[in-house]
Amino acid sequence: MLDNGFPLATESNILKELIKPPTILRTVVNTITGSTNVGDQLPTGQLSVVPWRRTGVKYTNNEAYFDVVEEIDAIIDKSGSTITAEIQGVIDACVKLTGMPDLTLSFMNPRLLDDVSFHPCVRFKRWESERILSFIPPDGNFRLLSYHVSAQNLVAIPVYVKHNISFRDSSSLGRFEITVGPKQTMGKTVEGVMVTSQMPKSVLNMTLTPSQGTHAFDPVTKLLSWDVGKINPQKLPSLKGTVSLQAGTSKPDENPTINLQFKIQQLAISGLKVNRLDMYGEKYKPFKGIKYMTKAGKFQVRT
């Protein structure tokens, strides 16, 4: 909601009080009575010192969940060294607490976080002096903060790709072999692995055998995709076979790059860990939960 061209209300739960979300029942009532979904009074939260939280919130089950989600962007060269690596992280919260709770969230290693952007509810002075997040949360789902870890030495690379892709000058056949394995995963399983690679234009077809999962090659777009699934460290997934090239063409100038998608549950790859979550200002004991997840952003291996 804008006031004289400036954003005034940006919190979804305040906007939902101003303009009620459409439901079938409301639509029917509006048609009969000629009314609209626009609320007829100013939301109570808009007049308080915490405009992002509506007043008089009541829940039978009081719970606060926090999801620490990190996306790793990396480029790995053909020898396996890291060219660039950085982590984009967010902490998403779902807070369903009665009344006006005042929360503090502390980390084991807050120094990891650089380039942090906060939700307006966070008391910035307290973060600057003590590196503790202190806030009265909005009601429901919101993004508490987003951060960036860009120091090369801090970014662990969780998976590796062994590759042997070769094209010969005189022959119309080439070799293709890749194996994917876990690297620094602190004993956690790498799952949801998907490998894609854009093949050179001169590739006609590929005859490949995966040790697990399914693969497909589109001869029109020249895109190879391999749905690997979960990586079992005892038996690493591999994809091997031959590549058919157009006869009479010279071998491709450069080898294809390999793009990876993956997920690792219960692990923040930067090593960020929540120490504790405390609540003040209310008498009840809430249920608290923290979940971690790492996934691939733009993760590219050059061959």
Share of the chain above pLDDT 90, in %: 56
Taking the domain 159-264, which CATH number applies? 2.60.40.1170
CB within 8 Å of 83: residues ≥ 6 apart? 75, 76, 77
pLDDT digits (tens, 9 = 90+) for 118-148: 999 999 999 999 999 999 999 889 999 999 8
Residue pLDDT, tens place only, 211-232: 999 999 999 999 999 999 999 8
Per-residue pLDDT band for 29 (boundaries 50, 70, 90) equals confident
Q: How does pLDDT run across 281-300, given as a tens digit for each residue?
A: 999 999 999 999 999 999 99
**Which residue is listed with tokens 């969940």?**
65
> What is the rounded average pLDDT of the residues 11-18?
73
The domain at 63-68+83-152+270-291 falls in which architecture? Sandwich (2.60)
Mean pLDDT of 229-242: 92
Does residue 166 register a pLDDT over 60?
yes
> How much is the pLDDT for 223?
94
Strands of the chain, DSSP E: 2-3, 6-7, 63-76, 82-96, 102-107, 114-118, 132-135, 140-149, 159-167, 173-182, 190-198, 203-210, 214-218, 223-229, 238-245, 257-265, 274-280, 287-302
Question: pLDDT tens for residues 50-94?
Answer: 778 877 889 999 999 999 999 999 999 988 888 899 999 999 999
Residue 186, pLDDT > 60, answer yes
Query: What is the pLDDT, as a whole number, of residue 277?
Result: 93
Number of C-beta neighbours around residue 59 at 10 A: 14
Q: How confident is the model at residue 114 (pLDDT cuts 50, 70, 90)?
A: confident
Q: Tell me how far apart the alpha carbons of residues 89 and 267 are, in angstroms, rounded to a whole number.
A: 12
* Residue 261 clears pLDDT 90, i.e. is over it: yes
Radius of gyration of the chain measured on its C-alpha atoms: 26
The confidence band for 246, taking pLDDT boundaries of 50, 70 and 90, is: confident
Residue 279, pLDDT > 90, answer yes
User: Worst-scoring range by mean pLDDT, 4-13, 129-138, 159-168, 255-264?
Assistant: 4-13
Give CA separation, 260 vs 163, 206, 218, in Å. Answer: 13, 19, 18
**CA–CA gap between residue 54 and residue 184 (Å, rounded):** 44
Please count the CA atoms within 13 angstroms of the CA of 249 that sit on its side-chain side: 15
Nearest to 17, CA basis, from 69, 62, 53:
53
- What average pLDDT does the structure give for the chain? 88
Q: Is the dihedral of CA 42, 43, 49, 51 positive or negative?
A: negative
Q: Which two tokens stand for residue 273?
A: 């860990």
Structure tokens at 66: 């926090």
Q: What is the pLDDT of residues 32-59, one digit of tens each?
A: 887 777 776 666 555 566 778 877 889 9
What pLDDT, on a 0 to 100 scale, did the predictor assign at position 45?
A: 55
Are 209 and 226 a contacting pair, CB within 8 Å? no
User: Same topology for domains 63-68+83-152+270-291 and 159-264, yes or no?
Assistant: yes
Three-state DSSP state, 32: helix
Across the chain, which distance is largest between two alpha carbons, in Å?
Answer: 80
Cα–Cα dist 181/157, whole Å:
11
Q: So where are the chain's domains?
A: 1-51, 63-68+83-152+270-291, 159-264
CA distance 146 to 114: 10
- Is beta strand 63-76 parallel, antiparallel or unpaired with respect to 287-302? parallel
Q: Can you tell me which residue has the tokens 């038996």?
A: 235
What is the pLDDT, as a whole number, of residue 32?
87
Q: Supply the pLDDT for residue 49.
A: 66
Residue 129, pLDDT score: 93
HSE value, Cβ hemisphere, 13 Å, CA-based, for 303: 25
Place of tokens 């962007």: 73
Q: Is pLDDT larger for residue 41 or for residue 157?
A: 157
Given this model, what pLDDT does residue 94 score?
95
Tell me the C-alpha to C-alpha distance, in Å, between residue 16 and each of 98, 118, 140, 151: 18, 22, 12, 40
